Every structure is written in C-alpha cells, then in structure tokens.
Structure 1
C-alpha cells in the first residue's frame, strides 16, 4: 500500500480500509475476539494493538499542535522495541472487553477523520512541521498508523475466521 500523497488519497485510504476491517469484524460476531490470530494473540489482542496506535498517532499530532514534542512511540520504548511495546499493550488490555475495544476502534477512526479534516495542507502534507515527525509528513504517520494497520488487521482476522471454519 503506497503512502498517500494527497489529502484525498489519505482520506479515501483510511475510510476504505477501516470500513473493510469493520465489516469483517461485524460479520465475525462477538465471539471473534477470542479466536487465535497472530503471534499468540487473539483477535481481541490484535485489536488492542491497532487501537493503541490509532489513538496515539492522534495524541502525537495534538501534542505537536500544542508545541510539545511527545515521546514516540511511547515513554520507555524506542522504535526498534515496538514488538515489546505491542506485547505490553496486549498485557494492559487483558481486562478490557472485545466490545469496548470495538467501540474504541470506532472512536479512534472518527478522531482520525476529524483530525485529517482539521489539519491544513501544510500540516498534513508538509515535512518538518512538527519536530517529533522528523522528515516525514503527518499524512505518512497517519497512513502507517491507521490504514496500514487496518489492512493488516483485516488480513489476520480473515485468516483466523478461515481457520475457525476448517
């Protein structure tokens, strides 16, 4: 999946991939959360990680708008430690219900769409606008942490559903 170069491409990509993932999850039913999925995770665990990244990319953008430089990816983690971060996200989400994660996924998506709409083209597509974003435009950060995450999640969910049927 190429990185969107325009607001329209980003918007279309996020909407399309979210709708496909959401449709897959709707069709899977409430028991899908307990299905084995990937890396010893259940579908619920996978969702917890995807929700975390969606919420946090927006938090980073909002911090940048306030003139802050957020710790990315998270306090106590370096980028090369994202597998450890993801594992810790799964551990922290153990008590959260699948239904709650589905609601957070929906709210996160809505928040992403509002953020894309509010950002001007310089903020969304320009490089160097926020220190934390380094040499990449926010559109890249948004795409990687939403559309790409939704696409891979859908792939894993579909695989889990096929294996359930076998």
Structure 2
C-alpha cells in the first residue's frame, strides 16, 4: 500500500504492518525468536527489535501528549538530538536488555493499541493537514504516526528476516 492519505488507510496500514510483524514473530520456532543477530546490528534479537519499536511508541505518545497540551515536546528525547539517534537507540537497547521477550511483547502490544486509539479519535483533517498543530512543525500528525507505526514495523520485520537468514 502506498503512503496513507486518510484515516482509514492510516489505520489499515499500521494494523496490517503490525499484524505482518507479529504474525511472523509468532510463527518463529523458539530457537529463532531468541537467536542472536549478527554482531554488526545494535538490536541483537527479536526482543530488542520489539523493545525498540515499543520505546519509539512511548516517545510518540509523549510528543503527542505534550504537543496537544500546547507545549513543545523535546524531540527525539530529553538529552538527545536527531544527530545523536544512535546513542538514544543504544540507551533503549540497554534499558530493555534484561526483559523477557514475552514481557516486551506485551509492552509493545499495549503501546501499539494506544497509538491506534490516537489515530481513531482524529479526523482526516486533523491527521493529514500539514502545520495543523504547532508541535508537528511543517508536517502533519499523520506523518509522525506513520513513522512510529507502519514504517517502523516494516523496518522491524525486514531486520528480523535479514538477521535470521
């Protein structure tokens, strides 16, 4: 599916890519779901990928809450800039490194549902009009949500498939 241009497409793509990712993970034999990825990847296993996605959900949820309250959210996160994303992602990786896959999966599923609720409560205009909200800058709320959901799930699935070959 091409980039969404309305709420229905946004929901369908985010839910579809989520299902593709989770169905793939659910179908993995246990030895693959815990298999270590090649050393050159920061995310070392399926848990790390899901933890990464979950944490970026949380970042999006925080940006949304702060921005919709009329304040300017710190992006990407307190103490980090877009230029220091590798350091932020390393911190995320370390934060969840002692968690079990099934616990991270529950967190990921829960934060996914929270983002779906945000999408569902907005109109096409609210989602897709650029500069509608001061906090989204020159882009739209949907652009942030696409990045935090469907595009990111596609990245996660591709990474997992590549690393488990």
The verdict on a shared fold, with TM-score over 0.5 as the criterion, is yes
Whole-Å separation in 2 of the counterparts to 1:33 and 1:129: 43
Q: Which residue of 1 aligns with 2:36?
A: 35
State TM-score, norm by structure 2: 0.89
2:27 aligned with 1:10, yes or no?
no
State TM-score, norm by structure 1: 0.88
Whole-Å separation in 2 of the counterparts to 1:119 and 1:30: 39
Instruction: Sort the Cα spacing of 1:29 and 1:103 in 2 relative to 1 into closer, same or farther, 3 A.
Output: farther
Q: Which residue of 1 aligns with 2:85?
A: 82
Deviates more, 1:59-68 or 1:148-157: 59-68
Deviates more, 1:33-42 or 1:83-92: 33-42
Task: Give the aligned length.
Answer: 162
Runs of 4+ with >3 A deviation = none
Whole-Å separation in 2 of the counterparts to 1:24 and 1:138: 29
Whole-Å separation in 2 of the counterparts to 1:135 and 1:64: 14
* Aligned CA-pair RMSD: 1.8
Instruction: Sort the Cα spacing of 1:64 and 1:46 in 2 relative to 1 into closer, same or farther, 3 A.
Output: same
Whole-Å separation in 2 of the counterparts to 1:100 and 1:4: 31
What's the offset of the Cα at 1:102? Answer: 0.5
> Please, which runs of 5 or more residues in structure 2 have no aligned partner?
none
What's the offset of the Cα at 1:35? Answer: 2.9
Whole-Å separation in 1 of the counterparts to 2:51 and 2:116: 19
What's the offset of the Cα at 1:34? Answer: 4.0
> Please, which runs of 5 or more residues in structure 1 have no aligned partner?
none
2:134 aligned with 1:131, yes or no?
yes
Instruction: Sort the Cα spacing of 1:61 and 1:29 in 2 relative to 1 into closer, same or farther, 3 A.
Output: farther
Whole-Å separation in 1 of the counterparts to 2:60 and 2:82: 14
